[in-house]
Structure 1
Amino acid sequence: MTDTRGTTDPENWKPLELRPESGRTGAAGIREVLTGIGDFGELLAREKAVVFRDFDVAERDVETAMDLLLPNRLAYTHGTSPRTKLGGNLYTSTEYPQHMTIAMHNELSYSHHWPERLFFYCATTPGSGGATPVVDGGLWLDSLDEEVRDAFAAGIRYTQNLHDGFGLGRGWRQTFETDDRAVVEAFLDQGEFDWKWMPDGGLRVISPIRPATLKHPHSGTEVWFNQADHFHPAALGDETARELAQILPAEELPQSVTFADGGPIPDAYVRHVHDRGLEVAVDVDWRQGDLMVIDNVAVGHGRRPFGGDRRVLVAMSG
Structure 2
Amino acid sequence: MQDRRLWKPMEITPHRGESLVDRLAAEPGLEDLLVHHKALVFRGFAVTEQTLEPVLDSLLPNRLAYVHGNSPRTKVGDNVYTSTEYPPEFVISMHSELSYAHAWPSRLLFFCHTAAATGGGTPVVDAALWLESLDDEVREAFASGVRYTQNLHGGRGLGKSWQDTFETDQHDDVERFLSAAQAKWEWLRDGGLRVVQERPSTVRHPVSGDEVWFNQADQWHPATLGDTTAAALAKVLGPDERPQSVTFADGSPIPDEHVIQIRDRGLANAVDVDWRAGDLMLIDNVALGHGRQAFTGSRRVLVAMSD
Normalized against structure 2, the TM-score is what? 0.98
How many pairs are equivalent? 307
1:136 aligns with 2:130: no
Cross-structure match for 2:289: 300
Q: Per-residue CA shift, 1:205-231, capped at 9, x if unaligned? A: 000x21101110000000000000111
- Report which stretch shifted further, 246-255 or 213-222: 246-255
Cross-structure match for 1:230: 219
Does the aligned pair in 2 maintain the 1:99–1:307 contact within 8 Å?
yes
Residue 161 of structure 2 aligns with an amino acid whose one-letter code is G
Instruction: Give the distance between the partners of 1:223 and 1:196, measured in 2 at CA.
Output: 32
Q: 1:16 aligns with which of 10, 28, 38?
A: 10
Secondary structure in 1 matching 2:84: coil
Instruction: Give the distance between the partners of 2:46 and 2:216, measured in 1 at CA.
Output: 33
Residue 97 of structure 2 aligns with an amino acid whose one-letter code is E
Secondary structure in 2 matching 1:251: coil
1:309 aligns with 2:303: no
Does the aligned pair in 2 maintain the 1:105–1:302 contact within 8 Å?
yes
Supply the RMSD in Å over aligned alpha carbons.
Answer: 1.1
Instruction: Give the distance between the partners of 2:29 and 2:61, measured in 1 at CA.
Output: 13
Secondary structure in 2 matching 1:68: helix
Cα shift at 1:37: 2.5
Does the aligned pair in 2 maintain the 1:57–1:290 contact within 8 Å?
yes
Cα shift at 1:36: 3.6
Q: 2:105 aligns with which of 92, 102, 115?
A: 115
Does the aligned pair in 1 maintain the 2:21–2:54 contact within 8 Å?
no
Instruction: Give the distance between the partners of 1:86 and 1:37, measured in 2 at CA.
Output: 29
Cross-structure match for 1:254: 243
Instruction: Give the distance between the partners of 1:104 and 1:247, measured in 2 at CA.
Output: 27
Q: 1:102 aligns with which of 92, 97, 118?
A: 92
Instruction: Give the distance between the partners of 2:23 and 2:71, measured in 1 at CA.
Output: 33
Does the aligned pair in 2 maintain the 1:8–1:46 contact within 8 Å?
no
- Report which stretch shifted further, 241-250 or 218-227: 241-250
Instruction: Give the distance between the partners of 1:23 and 1:99, measured in 2 at CA.
Output: 37
Cross-structure match for 1:124: 114
Secondary structure in 2 matching 1:252: coil
Instruction: Give the distance between the partners of 2:157 and 2:174, measured in 1 at CA.
Output: 19
Aligned counterparts, 1:244-283, within 5 A: 244-283=233-272
Cα shift at 1:8: 5.9
Residue 110 of structure 1 aligns with an amino acid whose one-letter code is Y
Cα shift at 1:248: 1.4
Cross-structure match for 1:166: 156
Q: Per-residue CA shift, 1:271-292, capped at 9, x if unaligned? A: 1100000000000000100000
1:86 aligns with 2:54: no
Does the aligned pair in 2 maintain the 1:8–1:47 contact within 8 Å?
no
Gaps spanning 5+ residues in structure 2: where? none
Cross-structure match for 2:230: 241
Residue 298 of structure 1 aligns with an amino acid whose one-letter code is A
Q: Per-residue CA shift, 1:160-204, capped at 9, x if unaligned? A: 000001111111001001111100000000011110000111000
Does the aligned pair in 2 maintain the 1:103–1:302 contact within 8 Å?
yes
Instruction: Give the distance between the partners of 1:259 and 1:234, measured in 2 at CA.
Output: 15
Q: Which runs of 4+ in 1 moved over 2 A?
A: 31-37
Instruction: Give the distance between the partners of 2:24 and 2:186, measured in 1 at CA.
Output: 47
Residue 258 of structure 2 aligns with an amino acid whose one-letter code is Y
Cross-structure match for 2:67: 77
Q: Per-residue CA shift, 1:226-246, capped at 9, x if unaligned? A: 000111111211111111111
C-alpha distance 180-216 of structure 1, shift in aligned 2 (>3 A): same
1:180 aligns with 2:174: no
Secondary structure in 2 matching 1:286: coil
Q: 2:274 aligns with which of 266, 281, 285?
A: 285
